[in-house]
C-alpha cells in the first residue's frame, strides 16, 4: 500500500521534473503545485485567497446539504410510512427524479444568476433526491412483523414512527445521506465550472483559461480533500447515531 | 377484504391525480400571475409547445432527436470504454491480493474528486472533440463499475470456489466460469449506478466544452433566454436517463433470475 503511493509519487517527480517526459503544459510538476498553493495562500487567485474560495464552496455544500438532506429524509419517511401520502407525491417525484442535478444548472442561472444562490439551489436538488429515496426504502424495508408487534402492544402511530420506523430506517437514511453528500460536491463543482464568481470550481475554470495546470491540480486536491473530510465527518456522525450497528 | 383494498386503491389513484394536478396548476398559476415573466417561468403549455416544435425544428443547429443522438453516441462510447477497463480490473482486484494492494491506494486517492472536476485536464489532454467528453463519461462510470466488480468477486461463495478448485478448474476457468457468473448480478448493479453518473457527467461536460448534443442545446437556450427549450431539454435528458436505467434494470432482473436462493444453496436437490 505505502509502496504504491511511494512509487506513484516518485513516478510523478521523475516524469515531470527530472526526465521531462510529461510537458509542464500537460501535467504540472510537484513544484508547480507548490507554487500555486503558495500563490493562493498569499496573494490570492481568481478574486480571493484560498480561504475565501474554500469558505464559498464548503459553506454552500454544508448549508445546502444540511437543509435539503434533512428535508429529503423527512419526505422519504413520510412517503414510506403513509401509502396515501406516497400516492399523492409520487407522480411529481417520478417526473423530477430522473433529471440529473447538473441539468438544472442552466435553469438555475436563469432564475438566480451566477452568484451563490444558483449554487445553493442546484446543490439542494442534488442532496434532496438520494436522501428521499433511501429513507423511503429504509422505512419500507422494515419487517412488517415488527410494526405489527408494536401496534399489538398498544403503540400509537407516533410511537411507531419514533421507536420503530425511524430507528429501523437509520442505516438506509445514512446510506442516502452519504450519496447525497457526494452528489452535492459533484453538483457544486459543475455549477461553479459553468459560471461563478468565487469557489474552487471558479479557480479551476480561471486556471484552465490561463493554462495553469498547477493551479487546476491544486484546486482538485482541495475538492477531493474537502469531499473526503466531510464524508468522514458524516461517517463519525453515523457511528454516534447508530451505535448498535458497529461494522 | 378485497373490496376494502380496492377502495384504498381508488383513494390512492385519486390522490395521485390530485398531486399531479396540484403541481401543474401551481406551475401554471405561477406562470400566469400578473407580474410573471415568461422568460423566467414559461407555462406548462408553452413548454409542451416548444417541446413539440423542437422535435422537428432545429435549435442550435439540430433538432431534439439529433441532439439526443449526438449525446447518446458519446455516452455509449465512454460507457463501453469504462466498463471494459473497470470490470476486468475490479475482478482482478477481487481475485488477487497483490493487484488489490496496488490499485486500491491509487483509487482511494481520486475517489472523492467529482468526475466533472477532471474537465480542465480532460480538455488539456484530449481536447473538446471526442476525447475530452469521453474522459468525463469514463470518470463518471468507472468508480461504480470498479467497486461493484471488486465486491462481486470478493463475496463469491467460497464453497463454489473450493468446489471448482477440487474438481480441477485452472485459473482461467475459475475466473471466466465461476467468478464472473457469480459476480454478474453485482456487476450489473454497478453498471446501472455508473450509467446514471456517466450520463449526468456528460451533461455537465456538454454544458461547458462541447458544441453539439443535448447539454449544448440547453446552454444555448439559456443564453438566448429560450426558457421553454431549456425545460424541454431537461425533460428529454430525464427521459433518456430513465430509459437507460429501465434497460439496465431489466438486464439485472434477467441475470439474477437463475441465481440460487439461499435455501437452494444449503439444501442441494
CATH number at residue B96: 1.10.3720.10
**Distance (Å) from the alpha carbon of B192 to chain A's nearest alpha carbon:** 13
CATH superfamily of A32-240: MetI-like (1.10.3720.10)
Do B3 and B72 share a domain, yes or no? Answer: no
Q: How far apart are CA A190 and CA A186, in angstroms?
A: 6
Do B131 and B203 share a domain, yes or no? Answer: yes
CB-count burial class (<10 Å; 0-12, 13-18, 19+) for B269:
exposed
Domain count, chain B: 2
Q: Would B159 be classed as within a structural domain?
A: yes
A93-127 burial, b for 16+ CB within 10 Å, e for fewer? Answer: beebbbbbbbbbbbbbbbeeebebebbbbbbbbbb
| Digit-coded pLDDT (tens) for B48-86 | 999 999 999 999 999 999 999 999 999 999 999 999 999
Q: Would B269 be classed as within a structural domain?
A: no
Do B4 and B93 share a domain, yes or no? Answer: no
Which grid coordinates belong to B46?
408553452
| Digit-coded pLDDT (tens) for B88-141 | 999 999 888 888 888 888 888 888 899 999 999 999 999 888 999 999 999 999
Closest CA to B244 of B206, B194, B203: B194
Chain B residue with the nearest C-alpha to that of A213: B121
Contact by Cβ (8 Å): B139, B199: no
Rounded to the nearest 5 percent, the helix, strand and coil shares of chain B are: 85, 0, 15
| Digit-coded pLDDT (tens) for B19-55 | 999 999 999 999 988 877 888 899 999 999 999 999 9
Do B28 and B139 share a domain, yes or no? Answer: no
Average pLDDT of chain B, as a whole number: 88
Q: Would B75 be classed as within a structural domain?
A: yes
The dihedral through the CA atoms of A100, A133, B240, B190 has a sign that is positive
Do B26 and B156 share a domain, yes or no? Answer: no
Structural domain span for residue B177: 42-259
Do B76 and B20 share a domain, yes or no? Answer: no
Q: How far apart are CA B94 and CA A158, in angstroms?
A: 46
Query: Which region holds residue B57: left if phi is over 0, alpha if psi is between -120 and 50, else beta?
Result: beta
Q: Would B267 be classed as within a structural domain?
A: no
Residues of B in contact with A185 (CB under 8 A): 112, 114
Taking the Cβ of residue B120 and every Cβ of chain A, the question of whether any pair is shorter than 8 Å is answered with yes
Do B149 and B170 share a domain, yes or no? Answer: yes
Residues of B in contact with A179 (CB under 8 A): none
Do B10 and B84 share a domain, yes or no? Answer: no
Chain B residue with the nearest C-alpha to that of A201: B117
Do B16 and B147 share a domain, yes or no? Answer: no
Closest CA to B31 of B49, B55, B57: B49
Q: How far apart are CA A246 and CA A12, in angstroms?
A: 39
ipTM metric? 0.90
SS3 B60: coil
How far is CA A234 from each of CA A177, B93, B107, B109, rounded to the nearest angstrom? 8, 28, 21, 19
Chain A residue with the nearest C-alpha to that of B224: A110
Q: Would B250 be classed as within a structural domain?
A: yes
Do B150 and B198 share a domain, yes or no? Answer: yes
| Digit-coded pLDDT (tens) for A188-232 | 999 999 989 999 999 999 999 998 999 999 999 999 999 999 999
Do B28 and B160 share a domain, yes or no? Answer: no
State the pLDDT confidence band at B156, using cuts at 50, 70 and 90.
confident
Q: What percent of chain A has pLDDT over 90?
A: 73
Taking the Cβ of residue A174 and every Cβ of chain B, the question of whether any pair is shorter than 8 Å is answered with no
Residues of A in contact with B245 (CB under 8 A): 98
Q: Would B109 be classed as within a structural domain?
A: yes
Amino acid at each position: 500500500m505505502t509502496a504504491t503511493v511511494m512509487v506513484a509519487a516518485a513516478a510523478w517527480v521523475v516524469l515531470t521534473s527530472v526526465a521531462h517526459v510529461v510537458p509542464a503544459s500537460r501535467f504540472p510538476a510537484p513544484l508547480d503545485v507548490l507554487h500555486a498553493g503558495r500563490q493562493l495562500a498569499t496573494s490570492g487567485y481568481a478574486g480571493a485567497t484560498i480561504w475565501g474560495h474554500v469558505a464559498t464552496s464548503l459553506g454552500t455544500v454544508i448549508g445546502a446539504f444540511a437543509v435539503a438532506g434533512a428535508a429529503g429524509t423527512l419526505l422519504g419517511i413520510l412517503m414510506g410510512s403513509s401509502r396515501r401520502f406516497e400516492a399523492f407525491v409520487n407522480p411529481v417525484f417520478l417526473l423530477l427524479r430522473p433529471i440529473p442535478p447538473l441539468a438544472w444548472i442552466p435553469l438555475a442561472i436563469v432564475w438566480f444568476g451566477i452568484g451563490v444562490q444558483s449554487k445553493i439551489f442546484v446543490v439542494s436538488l442534488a442532496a434532496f433526491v438520494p436522501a428521499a429515496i433511501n429513507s423511503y426504502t429504509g422505512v419500507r424495508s422494515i419487517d412488517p412483523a415488527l410494526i405489527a408487534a408494536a401496534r399489538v402492544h398498544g403503540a400509537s402511530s407516533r410511537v411507531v414512527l419514533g421507536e420503530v420506523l425511524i430507528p429501523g430506517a437509520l442505516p438506509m437514511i445514512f446510506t442516502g445521506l452519504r450519496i447525497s453528500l457526494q452528489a452535492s460536491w459533484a453538483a457544486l463543482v459543475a455549477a461553479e465550472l459553468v459560471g461563478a464568481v468565487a469557489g474552487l470550481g471558479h479557480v479551476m475554470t480561471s486556471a484552465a483559461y490561463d493554462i495553469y495546470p498547477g493551479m487546476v491540480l491544486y484546486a482538485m486536491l482541495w475538492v477531493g480533500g474537502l469531499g473526503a473530510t466531510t464524508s468522514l465527518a458524516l461517517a463519525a456522525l453515523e457511528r454516534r447515531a447508530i451505535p448498535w450497528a458497529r461494522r | 377484504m378485497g373490496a376494502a383494498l380496492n377502495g384504498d386503491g381508488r383513494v390512492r389513484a385519486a390522490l395521485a391525480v390530485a398531486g399531479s394536478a396540484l403541481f401543474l396548476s401551481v406551475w401554471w398559476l405561477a406562470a400566469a400571475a400578473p407580474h410573471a415573466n415568461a422568460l423566467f417561468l414559461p407555462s406548462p403549455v408553452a413548454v409542451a409547445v416548444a417541446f413539440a416544435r423542437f422535435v422537428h425544428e432545429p435549435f442550435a443547429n439540430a433538432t431534439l432527436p439529433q441532439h439526443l443522438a449526438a449525446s447518446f453516441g458519446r455516452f455509449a462510447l465512454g460507457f463501453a470504454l469504462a466498463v471494459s477497463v473497470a470490470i476486468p480490473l475490479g475482478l482482478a482486484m477481487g481475485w488477487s491480493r497483490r493487484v488489490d494492494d496496488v490499485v486500491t491506494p491509487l483509487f482511494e486517492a481520486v475517489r472523492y474528486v467529482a468526475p466533472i472536476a477532471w474537465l480542465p485536464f480532460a480538455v488539456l489532454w484530449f481536447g473538446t472533440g471526442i476525447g475530452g467528453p469521453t474522459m468525463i463519461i469514463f470518470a463518471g462510470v468507472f468508480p461504480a463499475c470498479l467497486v461493484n466488480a471488486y465486491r462481486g468477486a470478493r463475496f463469491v461463495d467460497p464453497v463454489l470456489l473450493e468446489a471448482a478448485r477440487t474438481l480441477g478448474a485452472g485459473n482461467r476457468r475459475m475466473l471466466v466460469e465461476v467468478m464472473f457468473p457469480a459476480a454478474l448480478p453485482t456487476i450489473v448493479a454497478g453498471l446501472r449506478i455508473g450509467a446514471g453518473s456517466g450520463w449526468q457527467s456528460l451533461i455537465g461536460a456538454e454544458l461547458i466544452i462541447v458544441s453539439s448534443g443535448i447539454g449544448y442545446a440547453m446552454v444555448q437556450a439559456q443564453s438566448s433566454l429560450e426558457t421553454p427549450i431549456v425545460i424541454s431539454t431537461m425533460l428529454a435528458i430525464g427521459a433518456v436517463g430513465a430509459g437507460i436505467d429501465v434497460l439496465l434494470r431489466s438486464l439485472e432482473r434477467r441475470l439474477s433470475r437463475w441465481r440460487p436462493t439461499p435455501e437452494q444453496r444449503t439444501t442441494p436437490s
